């Protein structure tokens, strides 16, 4: 143990050779990969899918509202039924999107 203590307590006189820093910097600059490209095709497919779902959801919500008015006999509400349906759909979609990050975080943990 005395020899180990002597070695560890001795001042460190090691210095890098001349040009070591320049060699390391040039090696790191050469090893940098090019930046990743943005996935535009995937983004376009996602946007198109969102638009299709929005149009389909709006059409289905309008049909459901019209059939609900006919079935239940709520003719006084017929004028505002589409707006109420869109509002309800927006609230449900907002709650689902607000819950999504927590569900994704739970999936990553387990």
Residue 100 lies in a domain: yes
Q: Can you give the residue range of the structural domain that contains 100?
A: 39-110
Q: Is 82 exposed, middle or buried (0-12, 13-18, 19+ CB in 10 A)?
A: middle
CB 78 within 8 A of CB 69: yes
Structural domains in the chain (count): 1
Is 55 within the bounds of a domain? yes
What are 26-80's pLDDT values in tens digits?
888 887 778 889 999 999 998 999 889 888 888 887 777 677 666 666 666 666 7
What interhelical angle do 81-109 and 40-72 show, nearest 10?
130
Give residue-wise pLDDT tens across range 4-14: 888 888 777 77
At residue 45, the pLDDT reads 93
Quote the tokens at residue 96.
């689902």
What secondary structure letter does DSSP report for 31? T
Q: Quote the DSSP letter at residue 39.
A: -
| 62 touches 82 (CB < 8 A) | yes
């Amino acid at each position: 143990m005395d020899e180990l203590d002597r070695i560890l307590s001795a001042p460190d006189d090691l210095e890098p050779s001349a040009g070591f820093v320049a060699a390391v910097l040039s090696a790191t600059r050469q090893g940098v990969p090019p930046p990743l490209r943005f996935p535009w095709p995937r983004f376009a497919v996602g946007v198109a899918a969102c638009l299709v779902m929005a149009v389909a959801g709006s059409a289905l919500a309008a049909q459901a509202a019209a059939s609900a008015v006919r079935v239940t006999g709520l003719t006084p509400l017929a004028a505002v039924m589409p707006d109420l349906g869109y509002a309800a759909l927006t609230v449900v979609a907002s709650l689902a999107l607000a819950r999504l990050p927590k569900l994704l975080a739970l999936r990553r943990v387990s």
